[in-house]
Amino acid sequence: MFLLLRLLPGDLAIAKLGIDATPESIVQLQQEFGLDRPIITQFFSWFGHALRGDMGVSMLTGVDIADEIINKAKVTLPLIAFASVLALSFAIPLGMYAALHFRRWDGISTSVVSQLGIAVPTFWVGVILVTIFAVIFQIFPSGGFPDVGWSAWASCLKSLTLPAITLALGQGAMLMRFARSATIDVIQQDYFRTARATGLTRGQALRIHGVRNALIPVVSVLGMQIATLIVGAIIVESVFALPGIGQMLLQDVGINDYTKVQGTVAATTAAVFFVSFLIDVTLNALNPKTRQRQ
Amino acid sequence: MSQTMSPVILEAMSLCRTFKLPRTSLSSARAERHAVVDIDLTVNIGDRLGIVGESGSGKTTLAKLLLCLDKPSSGVIKFKTQELPLADMAKFRREVQVVFQDPRSSLDPRMTIDQIIREPLECLNLQEDHDTRIDEVLDHVDLERKMRARYPHELSGGQRQRVAIARALAPRPTVLIADEPVSALDVLVRDEILQLLAGLTDNLGLTIILISHDLSVIARLCDKVVVMQHGRIVESGATENVFRSPQHQFTAELVAAVPRLPEIR
Amino acid sequence: MKRNRTLFLGVSLVSFSVVMALLSIFWTPYDPLEINPDSSLAKPSWSHLLGADVLGRDVLSNILVGSRTTLITAFLAVMITMVLGVIAGISASVSPRWFKSPAIYGIDIVLALPTVLFAIVLAAIYGPSTLTAVVAIGIATAAAVAQVTRREVNVILTSDFVIAAYASGSGKGRIIRRHILPNIRASLFIQASGASALAILAESTLSYLGLGTTPPAPSWGRMMASSQQYLLIDPIVALWPGFAIVITVLGFNLLGDGLREALDPTLRSSKL
Amino acid sequence: MSLLEVTNLVIRFGDKVVVDDLSFALDAGERLGIIGESGSGKTITSLAIMGLLPETATATGSIRFEGQELLSLNDREMSAYRGNRMGMVFQEPLTSLNPLMRVGKQIAQPLRNHRDLSLKASLARAIELCNRVGLPDPERIVRAYPHQLSGGQRQRIGLAIALACSPALLIADEPTTALDVTVQKEVLKLMNELVAQEGSSLIFVSHDLPVVSAMTETIAVMRSGKIVEHTTVSELFHNPRHEYSRKLIDTARATEAEFKRFAIGTS
We report the CATH number of the domain holding residue B117 as: 3.40.50.300
The pLDDT value recorded for residue C68 is 86
Residue B69 to residue C267: CA distance in whole angstroms: 34
Residues B26-30: contacts with CB under 8 Å, at least 24 apart: B26/A7
Residues A195 and A95 in one domain: yes
Per the structure, the count of domains in chain A is 2
Q: What pLDDT is attached to residue B89?
A: 86
Dihedral Cα A92, A95, A98, A101, nearest 10 deg: -50
Does one domain contain both A285 and A150? Answer: yes
Contact C155/B at CB under 8 A: no
The beta-carbon neighbor of C112 closest among A13, A25, A127 is: A13
DSSP letter, residue D146: G
Residue C166 lies in a domain: yes
Decide if D181 and B255 are in contact by the 8 Å CB cutoff: no
Q: Domain containing B59: what range?
A: 8-22+31-256
- Range scoring the smallest mean pLDDT among A74-78, B55-59, B251-255, D246-250: A74-78
Residue B2 lies in a domain: no
Structural domain includes residue C46: no
Q: Which strand (E) or helix (H) includes residue C53?
A: none
Residue A293 has a pLDDT of 43
The pLDDT score that the predictor gives to residue C231 is 66
Tell me phi and psi for residue B96, to 5 degrees. Answer: -120, 115
Q: Is D267 on the interface with B (CB under 8 A)?
A: yes
- Whose CA is closest to B82, among B70, B91, B69? B91
- Do A178 and A95 belong to one domain? yes
Same domain? A96 vs A174: yes
The subunits that touch chain D, with at least 3 C-beta pairs less than 8 Å apart, are: A, B, C
The pLDDT assigned to A56 comes to 59
C186 Cβ contact list (under 8 Å, min separation 6): C259, C263, C264
The Cα D169–Cα D166 span in angstroms is 9
Range C174-183 burial, b when 16+ CB lie within 10 A, else e: bbbebbbbeb
**A7 located within any domain:** yes
Domain-located, residue C209 = yes
Higher pLDDT residue, A228 or A197? A197
pLDDT band at B2, cuts 50/70/90? very low
Alpha helices for chain B (secondary structure H): 59-66, 89-95, 113-123, 130-140, 157-169, 187-204, 215-221, 239-244, 249-257
Q: Is B238 helix (H, G, I), strand (E, B) or coil?
A: strand
Q: Which of A266, A171, A164 is nearest to A228 (CA)?
A: A171
Radius of gyration of chain D (CA): 19
On chain B, the residues whose CB falls within 8 A of the CB of C178 are: 108, 111, 119
A107 & A157 share domain: yes
Q: Burial of C173 by CB count in 10 Å (0-12 exposed, 13-18 middle, 19+ buried)?
A: exposed
- 8 Å CB contact of C270 and D55: yes
Structural domains of chain D sorted by starting position, each given as residue range(s) with its CATH number in brackets: 1-73+200-267 (3.40.50.300)
Tally of structural domains, chain C = 1
| Residues A64, A66, A70, A71, Cα dihedral to 10° | 10
DSSP string, D59-83: EEEEEEETTEESTT--HHHHHTTBT
pLDDT above 80 for A16: no
Alpha-carbon torsion angle C11, C12, C15, C16, nearest 10 = -150
Residues on chain B touching A293 (C-beta within 8 angstroms): 24
Contacts B–D by Cβ distance under 8 A: 97
- Percentage of chain A lying above the pLDDT 70 cut: 68
- Would you say residue A58 lies in a domain? no
3-class DSSP assignment, residue A47: helix
pLDDT at A261: 73
* Residue C266 touches chain D, beta carbons under 8 Å: no
CATH of the domain at A216: 1.10.3720.10
In a domain, A231, yes or no: yes
The rounded distance, in Å, linking the Cα atoms of A188 and A203 is 14
The total number of structural domains in chain B stands at 1
Give the closest residue to B140 by CA, choosing from B123, B119, B117: B117
Q: Which residues of A186-218 are buried (b: 16+ CB within 10 A; e: fewer)?
A: bbebbbbbbbbbbbbbbebbbebbbeebbbebb
ipTM: 0.82
Q: What is the pLDDT along chain C (272 residues), one digit of tens a residue?
A: 355 777 888 888 888 888 888 887 777 777 766 676 666 666 666 666 667 766 667 778 888 888 888 888 889 999 999 999 999 889 888 887 777 777 887 787 777 667 777 777 777 667 677 888 888 888 888 888 998 899 899 889 888 899 999 988 888 889 998 999 988 888 898 899 989 988 888 888 888 887 776 766 778 888 877 777 776 666 677 778 888 888 899 889 888 888 877 776 544 433 32
What are the residues whose beta carbons fall under 8 Å from the beta carbon of C40, sequence distance 6 or more?
Answer: C52, C53, C54, C55, C56
The candidate with the shortest Cα–Cα distance to A258, out of C210, C137, C135, C121, is C121
Interchain CB distance below 8 Å, C169 and B100: no
A256 pLDDT above the threshold of 80: no
Look up the CATH number of the domain holding residue C122.
1.10.3720.10
Residue C45 lies in a domain: no
Q: Is the confidence at residue A7, as pLDDT, over 60?
A: no
pLDDT, mean of residues A243-254 = 80
Measured torsion, CA atoms of residues B24, B27, B29, B33, in degrees rounded to the nearest 10: 0
Average confidence score pLDDT of chain C = 80
The nearest alpha carbon in chain D to C270 belongs to: D56
Are A204 and A232 found together in one domain? Answer: yes
Classify residue B264: in a domain, yes or no.
Answer: no
* Distance of alpha carbon B167 from alpha carbon B152, whole angstroms: 13
Q: Which residues of chain D have pLDDT under 50?
A: 265-267
Distance CA A120, CA A133 (A): 18
Residues in chain A closer than 8 A to B24 (CB atoms)? 290, 293
B261 within some domain: no
pLDDT, residue B63, reads: 92
Under a CB-based contact definition with an 8 Å cutoff, are residues D142 and D130 in contact?
A: yes
Q: What tens digit of pLDDT does each residue of A201-222 get?
A: 888 888 888 888 888 888 877 7
Assign 3-state DSSP to chain C and report helix, strand, coil percentages, each to 5: 75, 0, 25
* Neighbour tally for D265: CB within 10 Å: 8
**Is residue A115 located within the same domain as residue A22?**
no
Using CB atoms, which chains have 3+ pairs under 8 A with B? Answer: A, C, D
Q: Which residues contact C211 (CB under 8 A, 6 or more apart)?
A: A253, C119, C120, C123, C128, C132, C133
Residue B265 lies in a domain: no
Same domain, A261 and A117: yes
Cβ proximity of B8 and B82 under 8 Å: no
Q: Is B70 on the interface with C (CB under 8 A)?
A: no
D13: part of which helix (H) or strand (E)? strand D4-13
Cα three-residue angle B197-B201-B207, rounded to 5 degrees: 115
A39 and A74 housed in the same domain: no
Of A106-115, B94-103, C80-89, D55-64, the poorest mean pLDDT is in A106-115
Q: With contact defined as beta carbons under 8 Å apart, do D216 and D188 qualify?
A: no
For A293, name the nearest residue in chain B, comparing CA atoms only: B24
What's chain B's average pLDDT?
88
* Residue contact C169–B89, C-beta within 8 A: yes
On whether residue C41 sits in a domain, the answer given is no
Domain presence at residue B232: yes
| pLDDT value, residue D188 | 94
CA dist., res. B157 & res. D207, Å (int): 15
CB contact under 8 A, D44 and C272: yes
Chain D, window 29-58: residues with a beta carbon less than 8 angstroms from a chain A beta carbon:
50, 52, 55-56
- Domain of residue C186 covers 5-36+51-271
The answer to whether residue A60 sits within a structural domain is: no
CB distance B24–A7 less than 8 Å?
Answer: no
The Cα C226–Cα C4 span in angstroms is 39
SS3 A42: helix
Q: Which domain holds residue A38?
A: 2-51
pLDDT of residue A1: 27
Would you call B123 helix, strand, or coil by DSSP?
helix
The whole-angstrom separation of Cα A278 and Cα A223 is 9
Q: Give me the pLDDT at residue A49, please.
A: 61
Q: What is the pLDDT of residues B148-161, one digit of tens each?
A: 999 998 899 899 99
For residue B171, whether the previous peptide bond is cis, meaning omega lies within 30 degrees of 0, is no
Give the pLDDT score at A48.
58
Q: In terms of Cα–Cα distance, which of D166, D170, D201 is closest to D30?
A: D201
The phi, psi pair for D69, rounded to 5°, reads -75, 115
Interface of C with A in 118-157 (CB under 8 A): 120-125
Q: Is B260 in Cβ contact with D214 (below 8 Å)?
A: yes
- C195 assigned to some structural domain: yes
Residue of B nearest to C160 (CA): B106
Give yes or no: residues A166 and A247 share one domain: yes
Per-state percent for chain B, helix, strand, coil, to nearest 5:
35, 25, 40
* Residue pair D91/D178 in contact by the 8 Å Cβ criterion: yes
Within a domain: residue B3? no
The tens digit of pLDDT for each residue in B50-67 reads: 999 988 888 999 999 999
pLDDT-derived band at A294 (thresholds 50, 70, 90) equals very low
Distances (CA, A) of C271 to B144, C79, C266: 33, 36, 8
Q: Do D266 and B188 touch (CB under 8 A)?
A: no
Closest CA to B94 of B171, B11, B186: B171
pLDDT score of B3 more than 60: no
For residues A186 and A84, state if they share a domain. yes
Q: Please check the confidence at residue A17 and state whether its pLDDT lies above 50.
A: no
Across the range A70-90, mean pLDDT stands at: 85
Q: Which residue of B has its CA nearest to D209?
A: B261
The answer to whether D248 and D209 have CB atoms below 8 angstroms apart is: yes
Domain membership of residue C112 (yes or no) is yes
3-state class (DSSP) for residue B249: helix
B25 φ, ψ (degrees, to nearest 5): -150, 175
pLDDT per residue as tens digits for the range C8-60: 888 888 888 888 888 877 777 777 666 766 666 666 666 666 677 666 677 78
Query: Residue C192: inside a domain, yes or no?
Result: yes
